[in-house]
Amino acid sequence: MHHFQYRDGELYAEDVPVRAIAKKVGTPFYLYSTATLKRHFQVFDEAFSGLPHLVCYSIKANSNLAILRLFANKGSGADIVSGGELYRALKAGFPPKKIVFSGVGKTQREMREALKAGILMFNVESLGELKTLAQVAKRMGKVAPIAIRINPDVDPKTHPHITTGLMKSKFGLDVETAFEAYLFAKEHPNLDILGVDCHIGSQLTEISPFVEALKRIKIFVEKLKEHGIKIKYIDLGGGLGIVYGKESPPPPSEYAQALKQELAGLDVTLILEPGRVIVGNAGILVTRVLYFKETPVKNFVIIDAAMNDLLRPVLYQAYHEIIPILSKNRPKLVADVVGPVCETGDFFARDREIPKVKSGELLAVMSAGAYGFVMASNYNSRPRPAEVMVNGKDFYVVRKRENYARLIAGEKIPPFLENKSA
Ligand code: LLP
């Protein structure tokens, strides 16, 4: 459920016509719905009621400060993967004790920053990282709270680029090595074992891989217990999928029910790190048609957004629905919807049946709230788009469109090139 709906043939975001925002802000821009964000968070969180749990929104999915503040206000925790995300999380007001730090390559600087902030726990992904963290904590006179990320070797049946819980992937540790890591941590005065962590992949549309992973974690937790290691948290990561097109992922209630069943009788708090399922369908990318081009073999709709704004179609062959802002019901045609970037991969849709569109009109690329703006780049020296948040009848620019000066900010011509003869 989201709040981007047609009213009298015109697309609205909550109570605002999308056209009015485009007029004020220009295109392309990302548009987020506050009501949808709130609802998705609430539905997810409430699905786990009755079970001790902490939802740590995965910041990487959409890290705009306004969105982070909204979730922080709702009582969410945060899943971070870099010093930059820690900085954002703290600025947005997440309590440090609700922040978990994931990722295979944390630097010493990032470890120091997170220890200084006093986060809930580090999800550690290798023995090298664990030993480094212990040293860093020792030098600071601190104790680092940790979980080890287990690679449970289950197939999440999703796109290979977003599969993380298979043995051949770079993430986490196999159970044998993880066990060694726990024994090391148990003996180290600067490490405090809090949990066991795992994340098997993203855009999962079935529950069984999650349950399978949890079963394996439970066996592992039992083994730790036999060795005198008590676990307070099981962090199951994120990964629940959404509807982009024809998928039918389970609703959070079913997902939660399955996990609750598995966890019954266990004295642990469940941590979840959802990203996409909360923000994915709460955002769209609004773009304008520049040209319509017919060639002997194909039709092209050329729009003012490009792969630098939304990378998912070319990177994962991802499907995003594309709809006109005005009147959906009209003759259809089959076309490629493409951007202005000089790459064949710069497409939003290929051989797609879409309503016949004219140059100058507005389109919405749906389900763009997760892994949209956060993966945008300046390729082809294109300023990154604006981000706008709707709340009822009002809308706010929550990140202004970049300008040309911003494109070259930080670049410098060295003195030896300053005169023309160099
Ligand atoms: N926790 C960890 C440790 C993760 O690596 C991820 C996502 C999440 C949580 C959140 O997963 P979610 O609930 O959003 O599925 N750029 C790709 C998705 C990459 C996901 C990376 N990790 C895409 O656009 O499909």
341 in the same domain as 212: no
pTM over 0.95: yes
CB atoms near residue 66 (< 10 Å): 19
> Ligand 1 centroid to 370 CA: how many Å?
9
Residues 248 and 295 in one domain: no
> Measured from the CB, is residue 58 less than 6 Å from ligand 1?
yes
Residues paired with 150 in a beta bridge: 173
CATH number of domain containing 314: 2.40.37.10
Return the structure tokens found at 121.
């726990």
Contact 252, 43 (CB under 8 A): yes
Sign of CA dihedral 373, 377, 382, 383: positive
Ligand 1 contacts CB of residue 201 (under 6 A): no
Separation of 236 CA from ligand 1 center, angstroms? 12
Torsion of CA 259, 260, 262, 264, to 10 degrees: 160
Atom 16 of ligand 1: nearest residue by CA position: 371
Is 187 labelled a binding residue? Answer: no
CATH number at residue 181: 3.20.20.10
Same domain, yes or no: 225 and 290? no
Q: Which of 240, 255, 276 corresponds to the end of one domain?
A: 276
Q: How far is the CA of 275 from the centre of ligand 1 (A)?
A: 6
Q: What is the pLDDT of residues 294-316, one digit of tens each?
A: 999 999 999 999 999 999 999 99
Distance (Å, rounded) from C-alpha 286 to C-alpha 291? 16
Instruction: Say how far apart CA 224 and CA 179 lie, in whole Å.
Output: 8
**Helix spans in 170-242 (H):** 175-187, 208-226
Indicate whether this complex's ipTM tops 0.90: yes
Pairing of β 269-272 and β 99-101: unpaired
312 appears as a binding residue in the annotation:
yes
39 and 24 in a single domain? The answer is no
> Does 162 sit in the ligand 1 pocket, CB within 6 Å?
yes
- Exposed, middle or buried, 397 (CB in 10 Å: 0-12/13-18/19+)? middle
Q: How many domains does the chain have?
A: 2
Q: Which of 169, 202, 234, 310 has the most ligand 1 atoms within 8 A of CB, as the residue to mutate?
A: 202
10 is in an annotated binding site: no
Q: Is 340 exposed, middle or buried (0-12, 13-18, 19+ CB in 10 A)?
A: middle
Mean pLDDT, to the nearest integer, of 3-18? 97
Atom of ligand 1 nearest to the CA of 275: 14
Cα–Cα dist 224/243, whole Å: 38
- Does 355 share its domain with 264? no
Looking up tokens 């040293």 gives: 135
In terms of domains, do 50 and 194 share one? yes
Structure tokens that stand for 218 in this block: 């439970």
Q: By percentage, how much of the chain surpasses pLDDT 90?
A: 92
Tokens of 364: 């919405």
- The answer to whether residues 388 and 31 touch, using CB atoms and an 8 Å cutoff, is yes
Distance 99 CA to ligand 1 centre (A): 16
The pLDDT, as a whole number, for residue 422 is 67
Question: CA–CA separation, 139 vs 133, rounded Å?
Answer: 10
Average pLDDT over every residue of 233-251 = 97
Is pLDDT above 90 for 395?
yes
**pLDDT tens digits along 254-286:** 999 999 999 998 999 999 999 999 999 999 999
- Both 317 and 170 in one domain: the answer is no
99 lies in the same domain as 82: yes
* Substitution candidate for ligand 1 out of 276, 312, 377 with most atoms within 8 A of CB: 276
Mean pLDDT computed over 337-364: 96
User: Is 274 near ligand 1, meaning CB less than 6 Å away?
Assistant: yes
- The answer on whether 316 is annotated among ligand-binding residues is yes
Of the candidates 96, 64, 53, 95, the residue with the CA atom closest to the CA atom of residue 252: 53
Mutate which of 272, 273, 281, 377 for ligand 1? The one with the most ligand atoms within 8 Å of its CB, which is: 273
Q: What is the pLDDT of residue 329?
A: 79
Contacts of 194 (CB under 8 A, 6+ apart): 120, 121, 145, 146, 147, 231, 232, 233
85 pocket-lining for ligand 1 (C-beta < 6 Å) = no
In a domain, 253, yes or no: yes
User: Is residue 274 marked as binding?
Assistant: yes
Quick: pLDDT tens for 157-200.
777 776 776 777 888 999 999 999 999 999 999 999 999 999 99
- Write the pLDDT tens digit of every residue in 32-73: 999 999 999 999 999 999 999 999 999 999 999 999 999 999
Domain with 23 in it: 4-31+280-408
User: Residue 306 is encoded by which pair of tokens?
Assistant: 């490009």
Determine if ligand 1 sits within 6 Å of the CB of residue 165: no
Radius of gyration of the chain (CA): 23
| Alpha carbon of residue 58 to chain centroid | 6
In a domain, 77, yes or no: yes
Ligand 1 atom closest to Cα of 276?
14
Q: For the segment 355-372, what is each residue's pLDDT rounded down to a tens digit?
A: 999 999 999 999 999 999
CB of residue 62 inside a 6 A radius of ligand 1: no
Return the ∠ at Cα 242 (arms to 236 and 248), rounded to 5°: 105
The token duo for 10 is 């015109």
Among 399, 287, 402, which residue's Cα sits nearest to residue 348? 287
Ligand 1 neighbourhood includes 372 CB (under 6 angstroms): no
What number does the ligand 1 atom closest to the CA of 311 have?
24
- Does residue 415 lie within any of the structural domains? no
User: Residue 201 forms beta bridges with which residues?
Assistant: 163
151 lines ligand 1 (CB under 6 A): no
Active site residues: 342
Task: Using the atom order of ligand 1, give the atom closest to the CA of residue 241.
Answer: 15
182 within 8 A of 224, measured Cβ to Cβ: yes
